[in-house]
Structure 1
Amino acid sequence: MAYLSNKIRPLWRLAMLMLLSGAAQAQNRYDITALRGPSGNIFATALNNRAQIAGITVVDGTTQAIMYDRGNVTFLRPQDGGYSYASDLNERGQIVGQAYTSAGQSRAFLYSNGTMRDIGTLGGSSSDAQGINDAGQIAGSAATSSESWRAFRYTRGVMTDLGTLGGDASFGTDINVRGEVVGYSSTADGAAHAFLHDGSNIRDLGTLGGVTSIAFANNDRGHVVGHAERVDGAMHAFFYANGAMRDLGTLGGTFSIAQGINSRDQVVGVSLLADPNAASHGFIYTGGVMRDLNSLIDPASGWVVETAWDINERGQILAYGCQADDCTALLLTPALRAAD
């Protein structure tokens, strides 16, 4: 390019940069893997950094908890053959969830080294495990002796009642590496508010100006996501950090939920669109922008990502979507290492 003048050369460079930028933006940000088990499609709830996945599938008419690992499916069957649901897993492949007894009671379980174990209750008949960290601490909720439900933290065989925000019930949904539990609790006036329990105290995270909020996940930095009611009554996804709750907005509709977050503060969830007749779409919120995941996959694939459940430290997203009438769990893997 020696023949280009000094005036033209910068313009040529700018044009090339614009072309390269456009080409990068046109590429698909995520590759899609449809997840299926031996009995058909699966519904997944959580993934770890090894892309091991916790979820459920239906076997002979019975819902069974599973672990999906690179195409191999392990069934987590209760001893009495009842229903089971997997909610979360850690980097050690330990899985927690809920299993039903032959009497119809739900019990929180820990699956570890090939064995499913009932972790008990707070004195009542039922319990449910929702989150587990890499130390094996578990968060969930359980019935007390009066059959009131309370959020718990389970550590080394001991289940601890985390109390409430002044009401009569609370529910734990996730736990991070620090042992901080998030969830939601009834308040003294009967509303449901998101909370964070730091090991000593339970903290009301407030709302976006409305009455209700629910926390669904937290990361190892202590940041929390969920959804909360605004003054106008709309429920929006939120991000909570440093004592402040931020509205993440929607994809054009009136409703959104943030369901997963990693340590880079990348948030995934589900939102309604401006078209009230359209299906919900999964989103990723990163760099201050909420993006429709369907704009980041190959449209020729035919998949519609309807919700996103979880995101790991590699940026892989666990989602659920449909290809016409074929609906199953999806793993979205970053295809382009572009800046967020």
Structure 2
Amino acid sequence: MQARISLIASGALLAFCTFAATAALAAPPVYKIETIDKAHNTLPRWALGISNNGIVTGEAWMNSRYSSSAFRYKNGTTRPLLAPDTWDAAGWRVNDDGAVAGWVGYEAWTWDKAGAGTNLDALVPCDADGSRDSKGSGINSAGDVVLSFICDRAGVRVFGAYLYRGGNMIDLGTLGGNYTTANAINNAGQIVGSSFLAPDSDGKVHARAYIWENGSMRDLGTLGGSDSSAVDINDAGHVTGMARNAANENRAYWYDGTTMHQLPTCHGSDNWPQPRAINNHGQITGDYFGKGFEAFLYQKGRCYSLLTLLDASGAGWTALQAYDINDKGVIVGAGVFNGKGRAFIATPVKP
């Protein structure tokens, strides 16, 4: 009986090893890349966010390179999301209804699915002295928006973050210091960003990645060093961002709900990735600096240069920067196509 159990265990180990080796040698995915074309006097230059049903938002040039607008791209059509005195506006994230979070000038805005805009900066409870500065940085399926702000309170410069929900502003607080940013929100209402700890015994201040939920902020720790930050979170509560390791090196990580794991290098031993987004399958995208900016895709323990994954449609593209990825693995960003800056959509044709 013992021999039979040992044989079964050995067989299971062999099968596992075979599976692991096969997965490690699996062919990389293949992507098709396309530009987002000009429409309504709007030329998309940066595609910054994509929903799971393929709605894209970002920043577009309006008639000239000196005026920009947020845009929404859906079913092959690009439309500007306008606001009064638009001159430097962008949509950063978009949900499946087409609602967008972003900014106009130095003020956080949100647009609903019909394109009607709301100035969130005007709702930030700071002294109305004209010094406010904010940015809408995330939106979930319920239309909840997170924003970071800078303002003056009684002459003191404040860096903080709010959740805009149901017409109300909820202050996220801090981890003990005087600085917080909010970078993303998932469909469970969890928020991630960076917050200062209280000064240590030497008077030094350190920033930490956090998850905020139900009114409480939790420190995610580091890779062994002193600081960290979080840029995105998926619906499982998995996070990506940057953290310092024991050697005080700033490295990309993904957080599995309990532990931070350092991401590998991309397309070369010295090319460390800087993530911007994670989807519900654990795929991460962002960019790194090689011979120039290069977008990357991290999946199944490997980091790929997006340029190396493109099919024939990749001819003429250079300097890709990736800003978001949806659950279908579609990546959006900005790059240079035949010498001109353009927004792109990269779609997997072979997973």
Q: Provide the rounded CA distance (Å) in 1 between the counterparts of 2:233 and 2:45.
A: 25
Letter in 1 for 2:48: T
Asked whether the 8 Å contact 2:45–2:343 carries over to 1, the reply is yes
Whether the 8 Å contact between 1:36 and 1:42 is mirrored in structure 2 is no
Does the 8 Å contact 2:69/2:86 carry over to 1?
no
Structure 1 residues 25 and 246: CA distance shift in structure 2, 3 A: closer
User: 2:322 — aligned with what?
Assistant: 308
1:79 aligned onto 2:93: no
The 2-side partners of 1:331 and 1:81 are apart by 25
What one-letter code is carried by the residue in structure 1 that aligns with 2:343? A
Q: Separation in 2 of the partners of 1:81 and 1:328?
A: 21
Partner of 2:46: 43
Aligned to 2:73: 68
* Corresponding position of 1:107: 107
Match of 2:93 in 1: 88
Give the counterpart letter for 2:287 in structure 1. V
**Residue in structure 1 matched with residue 202 of structure 2 by the alignment:** none
Matched residue type, 1:30: Y
Report deviation, 1:82. 3.9
CA contact (8 A) 1:140 1:151 kept: yes
2:236 to 215, 221, 241: 221
What is residue 118 of structure 1 aligned with on the other side?
119
Equivalent AA in structure 2 for residue 267 of structure 1: I
Correspondence 1:293 to 2:296: no
Shift in alpha-carbon separation, 1:157–1:41, aligned structure 2, 3 A: closer
Structure 2: unaligned runs, 5 residues or longer: 1-25, 200-204
Distance 1:89 1:41 in 2: 15
For residues 306 and 319 of structure 2, the distance between their equivalents in structure 1, rounded to whole angstroms, comes to 7
Judging changes above 3 Å, is the alpha-carbon distance between structure 1 residues 40 and 242 closer, same or farther for their aligned structure 2 residues? closer
Aligned residues of 1:235 and 1:254 also touching (Cα < 8 A): no
RMSD, aligned α-carbons: 2.2
* Closer, same or farther: CA 36–229 of 1 in aligned 2, 3 Å: farther
* Equivalent of 2:261 in 246, 268, 285: 246
In 2, the alpha carbon distance for the partners of 1:315 and 1:262 equals 8
Secondary structure at the counterpart of residue 307 of structure 2: helix
Aligned to 2:17: none
1:133 to 133, 140, 144: 140
Q: CA deviation at 1:143?
A: 4.1
- Matched to 2:126, the amino acid is G
TM-score (norm 1): 0.83
AA aligned to 1:110 is: T
Instruction: Say whether the 8 Å CA contact 2:273–2:286 is kept in structure 1.
Output: yes
Contact 1:270 1:282 in 2 (8 A): yes
More displaced 10-residue stretch of structure 1: 186-195 or 237-246: 186-195
Where do 1:1-340 residues align within 5 Å? Answer: 25=27, 29-38=30-39, 39-59=42-62, 60=64, 61-100=66-105, 106-112=106-112, 113-119=114-120, 120-124=123-127, 125-143=132-150, 146=153, 147-189=157-199, 190-251=205-266, 252-253=269-270, 255-273=272-290, 278-298=291-311, 301-304=315-318, 306-337=320-351
Q: Secondary structure at the match of 1:164?
A: coil
How many pairs align?
A: 305
Q: Report deviation, 1:231.
A: 3.1
CA distance in 1, matches of 2:167, 2:224: 39
Q: TM-score, normalised by structure 2?
A: 0.81
Counterpart of 1:16 in structure 2 is none
Percent of aligned positions with the same letter in both sequences?
Answer: 29
1:178-203 residue CA offsets vs partner (Å, 9 max, x unmatched): 10010111222322221110123111
CA 1:122–1:142: 2 relative to 1, 3 Å: farther
Q: CA deviation at 1:132?
A: 0.3
AA in 1 matched with 2:296: F
Gap regions ≥5 residues in structure 1: 1-23, 101-105
- Say if 1:71 and 1:97 are closer, same or farther in 2 by CA, change over 3 A: same
Please report how far the alpha carbon of residue 312 of structure 1 lies from its aligned counterpart in structure 2 after TM superposition.
0.8
**Which residue in the other structure is 1:10 paired with?**
none
Q: Tell me, yes or no, if the aligned pair for 2:51 and 2:326 is still in contact at 8 Å.
A: yes
User: Residues 25 and 249 (structure 1 numbering): CA distance in 2 closer, same or farther, change over 3 Å?
Assistant: closer
Contact 1:184 1:192 in 2 (8 A): yes
Q: Which has the higher contact order (CA 8 A, sep 6+)?
A: 2
